[in-house]
Amino acid sequence: MPSVPPDDRLRVAMICVHTSPLDQPGTGDAGGMNVYVVELAQALARQGSEVEIFTRATSSATPEVVEVSPGVSVRHITAGPFEGLDKNDLPGQLCAFTAGVLRTEASRTAGWYDVVHAHYWLSGQAGFLAADRWDVPLVHTMHTMAKVKNAYLAPGDHPEPRGRVIGEEQVVEAADALVASTPAEADELVDMYGADRRRVHVVPPGVDLRLFRPGDGDPDEVMAAERVRLGLPDGPLVLFAGRVQPLKGPDVVVEALAAMRDAGRTVPTLVVLGGPSGRPTALRELQALAAQVGVADHLVLHPPVPRTELAGWFRAADLVVVPSHSESFGLVAVEAQACGTPVVAAAVGGLRTVVRDGESGVLVRGHEPARWGQVLADLLDAPEERARLREGAARAGASFGWDEAASAMLEVYREARDVRRASLAAAHRPTA
């Protein structure tokens, strides 16, 4: 681990309004962002910083402060009712949430926090005020963007409201630094939101390479052992891991199974590892679709699992699918590859960077089920090609590390601090 200069030992206020990093990813609003926030915070702490994560309390039983690991804590702010609030209801609670954040700082020594790092636009709104009040830089990571999602809307999905678009534009204008996960996301910030490119920084997220790694020994033997342990069937097996919602596209793979059957190809088992998001009926709707197209016997639904167990599910699969309609990064794709499992992903957003087409997996243009069925069938019928992709997947996954991401983020924090100081100095410079 690189040595840490004294001025890098920052106190960071991370803001994550709508979902706690303590929540189980894969259901509700919890997903890759939850993992991103807690993993980045812990990596920053390993390099000497202190990170306090502010999130909205969703249960009266949750302690006000939870120590996650040395140097990292999660503070739950009461803002509105604990239960029953949809993410779309949260803008009305931003005033109460921000007041709770400001009260926390008010109990500290003056100048306690060095930087505010907000995640998602709701947090950016709260972070905007906090950074302004504390006179520290605002660093913002979008994670997803309304204009991008609306441009690639999944069938049956609802467009993001105009209020979110306006809120995102305000945060882009206010932020001292914007963090994108890939060059493609950086371009979207500039082209679609008019961001100042000088303030846009690309910092690829990482993956816990101690947890997500290939198994020891022959990959086929590892796969067989994992399937026995998890109670999964023999034969071709494809895994989808994530929230079950239109944006993530699990319906595309279900219909691809039917296309494979109609083309006379072997139909694999599709394991969907995740919970409903947005609509509580999402799982039943996916089951109904599988029954409608005649592949219900090939669909296995399983609740999301803790991250300590997720790597085994990746190693048990022949292929992992990420058919998202838009994806700023695609953490599942990185984690699966780090386990040595090839990924078949939609050629959208950050997935075009994360998945090395023809080397660690295959990128599929569009969401036509027949095309997806052909790609999956061809790979499942080609064990030598899958073996080659396994090796490439492991190499690709191993290139992402959280310590490297934290080092790069510290550089962003320092530059944002310098930008803010220069701006304040210019504002107070006497005119001739």
- Do 278 and 143 belong together in one domain? no
Q: How do residues 232-281 score in pLDDT, each as one tens digit?
A: 999 999 999 998 989 899 999 999 999 999 999 999 999 999 988 778 88
Q: What is the pLDDT of residues 410-426, one digit of tens each?
A: 999 999 998 888 777 77
Same structural domain for residues 379 and 407?
no
Domain assignment present for 354: yes
Is there a contact between 338 and 361 (Cβ–Cβ < 8 Å)? no
Residues 264, 145, single domain; the answer is no
Q: Is 212 within the bounds of a domain? A: no
Q: Which of 330, 385, 382 is nearest to 360 (CA)?
A: 385
Span 379-408, mean pLDDT? 95
In-domain check, residue 430? no
Q: Is 113 annotated as a binding residue?
A: no
308 annotated binding-site participant: no
333 annotated as ligand-binding: no
- Whole-angstrom CA distances from 263 to 184, 197, 233, 288, 368 are 35, 48, 23, 22, 14
Confidence of residue 158 (pLDDT cuts 50, 70, 90): confident
Q: 304 and 390 in one domain?
A: yes
pLDDT value, residue 419:
81
Judge if 324 and 187 occupy the same domain.
no
- 352 and 302 in a single domain? The answer is yes
Is it the case that residue 30 has pLDDT exceeding 70?
no
Q: Which residues pair with 271 in a beta bridge?
A: 239, 300
Mean pLDDT (the chain, rounded): 92
Check the annotation: does 243 bind a ligand. Answer: yes
| Strand 200-202 versus strand 319-322 pairing type | unpaired
Residue 40 included in any domain: yes
Please give the model's pTM, rounded to 2 decimal places.
0.85
- How does residue 156 score in pLDDT terms, banded at 50, 70 and 90? confident
CATH of the domain at 232: 3.40.50.2000
* Between 428 and 165, the higher pLDDT residue: 165
Q: Is residue 114 part of a domain?
A: yes
- Can you give the residue range of the structural domain that contains 323? 219-398
Query: 248 labelled as ligand-binding?
Result: yes
**431 marked as binding residue:** no
Query: Was 205 annotated as part of a binding site?
Result: no
Residue 327 annotated as lining a ligand binding site: yes
Ligand-binding annotation for 307, yes or no, is no
pLDDT at residue 1 is higher than 70: no
Same domain, 57 and 156: yes
For 182-204, write each residue's pLDDT tens digit: 999 999 999 999 999 999 999 99
Statement: residue 8 has pLDDT above 70: no
The predicted structure's pLDDT at residue 136: 96
Average pLDDT over every residue of 31-46: 90
Say if residue 381 carries a ligand binding annotation.
no
Average pLDDT over residues 79-85: 82
> pLDDT at position 29, please?
58
315 labeled part of a ligand binding site: yes
CB atoms within 10 A of CB 92: 11
Question: Other C-beta atoms within 10 Å of 4: how many?
Answer: 15
**Is 305 annotated to bind ligand?**
yes
Q: Are residues 135 and 190 in the same domain?
A: yes
Is residue 360, in this structure, part of any structural domain at all?
yes
**Cα–Cα nearest to 301, from 319, 318, 289:** 289
132 and 232 assigned to the same domain: no
- Determine if residue 210 is labeled as part of a ligand binding site: no
93 is known to lie in a ligand binding site: no
Please give the average per-residue pLDDT across 393-398, as a whole number.
95
From the list 26, 251, 87, 89, the residue with the least C-alpha distance to 156 is 251
Per the annotation, does 32 bind a ligand? yes
Is residue 149 marked as binding? Answer: no
353 and 259, same structural domain?
A: yes
Q: Is 401 annotated as a binding residue?
A: no
pLDDT of residue 199: 95
Please state, in angstroms and rounded to a whole number, the distance separating the CA atoms of residues 50 and 53. Answer: 10
> What's the number of domains the chain is made of?
2
- pLDDT for residue 4: 44
pLDDT number for residue 5: 47
Under 8 Å CB-to-CB from 430, ≥6 apart: which residues? none
> Greater confidence, 34 or 148?
148
**22 band by pLDDT with thresholds 50, 70 and 90:** confident
| Residue 196 known to bind ligand | no
Q: Is 348 annotated as a binding residue?
A: no
Mean pLDDT, rounded, for 23-30:
59
Phi, psi of 355 (to 5 degrees): -95, 120
Where is average pLDDT lowest: 19-28, 43-52, 122-131? 19-28
Answer yes or no: is pLDDT of 120 > 50: yes
Residue 211 resides in a domain: no
Q: Do 190 and 242 share a structural domain?
A: no
- pLDDT surpasses 90 at 175: yes
Q: How far is CA 26 from the centre of its chain?
A: 10
Mean of pLDDT values over 345-368: 95
Check residue 384 and give its pLDDT: 97
DSSP E strand stretches across 17-161: 50-56, 65-69, 72-77, 115-119, 138-141
121 and 148 within one domain: yes
Q: What is the structure's pLDDT at 24?
A: 61
Most confident of 56-65, 166-175, 275-284: 166-175
With respect to residue 101, please indicate whether it lies within any of the assigned structural domains.
yes
Phi-psi bin for 236: left (phi > 0), alpha (psi -120 to 50), beta?
Answer: beta
pLDDT(25) > 50: yes
Mean pLDDT, range 371-378, rounded to an integer: 98
Q: Is 147 annotated as a binding residue?
A: no
